[in-house]
A and B are shown apart, each in its own frame.
Chain A
Amino acid sequence: MKRYIRIYLMLVNSGFSAFLAYRPTMLGSILSSVMWSVFGIISMFLLTSRTSSVFGWSRYELILLSCVYNVLFGVFYFFFTRNFWEMQRIIHFGLLDSFLLKPINSQFSISFWYISVSSIIRLAIGLLATAYVLSLLKIHITVFVAVLFCISLVFGSTIMYAVWFMVMSLLIWKSNLSNLLDLLYMNNGVTKYPEQMYKRASIFLYIFLFPFTLIVVVPTKVLLSKATALDYGLLVILSGLFLYASHRFWKYALRFYASAN
């Protein structure tokens, strides 16, 4: 474990250096992060501009949901998205061998090799917006709630990571599907709406999307003091199950890796 932490710190260090070395790319990524985080909040602001409550959530609670969405995906993108972008290139061009031959876990190396530094901006905007909306809702956050919020964010990110990793592992069979990642990005949108939205649409849709509905909703409920023991339990159990499934699926997929582009 110590060795992995040491390796990861070195990778983070080189990630920051690479980020600062290419100025135009750095500015482009910062601009992009700012715009996406603002868009996430503005789109909810627009959708709720003609209504005071939807699916039992007030307008500000829904905006809070989209702020927490930014916080969670700020964290998630920081750690993982760059790696998934690279993953499709690595698999498509048959470069996975170099990861498989390293004396560390291949899932770890392919998932954590790069970081997306600009996502810190998204995280910061998300946190600021969350604090602002909480003040509008006149909700005071205690240290205990803040800790619970952070823990639920970690478990939420774990579910997201496992789903992304399993879907991206499919590239081993169909490596030209480079837009799988775009599909995953679009699917993130599922997490920023209340679960009742899917429940009302169709029970099958709800069952299928259920894990996604926990990812952002539970941390938001924690802030609103509405989270139940069942919410926490489901989040923890599902994140464990999904992480294990992603590991098994990766091992299975590797059997089909042909090592050629």
Chain B
Amino acid sequence: MRLLKILLLQFQDVFEQRLRSFLWFFISLWGTMLFLLFWRGAAGNKMIAPGWDFTAIASYYFYLIVAGSLLMSNVEDDIARMDIYAGNLARYLLKPISYMQTKFLEDAPYRLVKTVYGILTCLICLFVFGSHFFVVNTNMLLIPFILVIIFCGYYLAFLFKFLLGLTAFWLKDIRGLYDSLDILMFILAGYTIPLVLAPKWLANLAYSLPFADMIYFPIIAFQGKLSFLDCSIVILRDFFWIGIFLFFIQVLWRRGLKKFTAVGQ
């Protein structure tokens, strides 16, 4: 019940700044639309790769609008600047609820509101361009697997960004690191291009890192481009990365707290 209250309070905060959260959504929408417009010229009527013509690519980018809003967390900046550098963490430490849980709940409303914007945009596109641009999985048996992949992507992104936020205990300037990782994510999570269309070496590199599990695999699973076996492998990988992140979060949290002075840095 108290978790729900925190969530609802956070929703109030989001609704208070409606225009601001809409701008955040619009920023991600605009970037994705540029890629889409580019592919319109690059792909034309050609088949770019097996199973990937312009329709499939367009549907990937349409889903990316929703996935980018729902699955990607931006909690790291808040943790680093507001909580660790400005000393607000002390406020959270005094509460009878874990810091990570609170942050997870604080992060959720922003993502959900942006997702609603994303779904509305996709519905408008569906109405304007027609349903052939929205390739979806039609195998009902795969749906539970897809839902697990989406939830894992959501949680994985949060854990990764939370872990990143904790590095502020040691780093005096986090901008360089955050920008670098953002850029890596743009490429390796499948924001710039569906990874199947990327050069082989880059795709292999992306598959061996957790970023693709946050955005790329949830989208192509939703598109129905993953088999049972593929879905199972992705879920196992997700569990592996969640375990790794949780372990490092524990380590960094315990050590970081010892460095925290609660008066700001």
Q: Beyond A32-B180, A186-B30, A198-B37, is A47–B173 a contact (Cβ under 8 Å)?
A: no
Cβ A27 vs Cβ B198 within 8 A: no
Cβ B42 vs Cβ A50 within 8 A: yes
Q: Beyond A42-B187, A187-B30, A190-B34, is A31–B193 a contact (Cβ under 8 Å)?
A: no
Q: Which residues of A contact B38 (CB under 8 A)?
A: 47, 54, 193, 197
Query: Size class of B's contact patch?
Result: 35 or more
Complexed CA–CA distance, A228 and B35 (Å)? 28
- Whether B2 is near chain A, meaning CB under 8 Å from some CB there, is no
Can you name the residue of chain A whose Cβ is closest to the Cβ of B46?
A51
Cβ A49 vs Cβ B35 within 8 A: no
Complexed CA–CA distance, A198 and B263 (Å)? 51
Complexed CA–CA distance, A174 and B177 (Å)? 31
Can you name the residue of chain B whose Cβ is closest to the Cβ of A28?
B176
Complexed CA–CA distance, A158 and B17 (Å)? 32
Q: Which residues of A contact B173 (CB under 8 A)?
A: 22, 24-25, 27-28
- Whether B100 is near chain A, meaning CB under 8 Å from some CB there, is no
Complexed CA–CA distance, A31 and B198 (Å)? 25
Complexed CA–CA distance, A33 and B187 (Å)? 17
Cβ B174 vs Cβ A193 within 8 A: no
Q: Which of B30, B49, B179 has the most CB of A within 10 A?
A: B179
Cβ B192 vs Cβ A179 within 8 A: no
Number of A residues near B (Cβ < 8 Å) is 41
- Whether A177 is near chain B, meaning CB under 8 Å from some CB there, is yes
- Whether A101 is near chain B, meaning CB under 8 Å from some CB there, is no
Q: Which residues of B contact A51 (CB under 8 A)?
A: 42-43, 48
Q: Which of B17, B175, B176, B187 has the most CB of A within 10 A?
A: B176
- Whether B260 is near chain A, meaning CB under 8 Å from some CB there, is no
User: Which residues of A pack against B, CB within 8 Å?
Assistant: 22, 24-25, 27-32, 35-36, 38-39, 42-43, 46-51, 54-55, 174, 176-180, 182-183, 186-187, 189-190, 193, 196-198, 200-201
Cβ-closest 10 pairs across A and B = A28-B176, A31-B176, A28-B173, A32-B179, A24-B172, A24-B173, A39-B183, A25-B173, A35-B180, A54-B42
User: Which residues of B pack against A, CB within 8 Å?
Assistant: 17, 19-20, 23-24, 26-27, 30-31, 34-35, 37-43, 48-49, 171-177, 179-180, 183, 186-187, 192-193, 197-199, 202
Can you show 29 pairs from A to B with CB atoms below 8 A apart?
A24-B172, A24-B173, A25-B172, A25-B175, A27-B173, A28-B173, A28-B174, A28-B176, A29-B175, A29-B176, A32-B176, A32-B179, A32-B180, A35-B183, A38-B183, A39-B187, A43-B187, A46-B193, A47-B35, A47-B192, A174-B19, A177-B20, A182-B24, A186-B27, A193-B38, A197-B37, A197-B40, A198-B37, A200-B41
| Beyond A25-B173, A182-B24, A186-B30, 15 extra complex contacts between A and B, CB < 8 Å | A27-B176, A28-B177, A35-B176, A39-B186, A39-B187, A46-B199, A47-B38, A47-B192, A49-B198, A54-B38, A177-B23, A179-B20, A179-B24, A189-B30, A197-B40
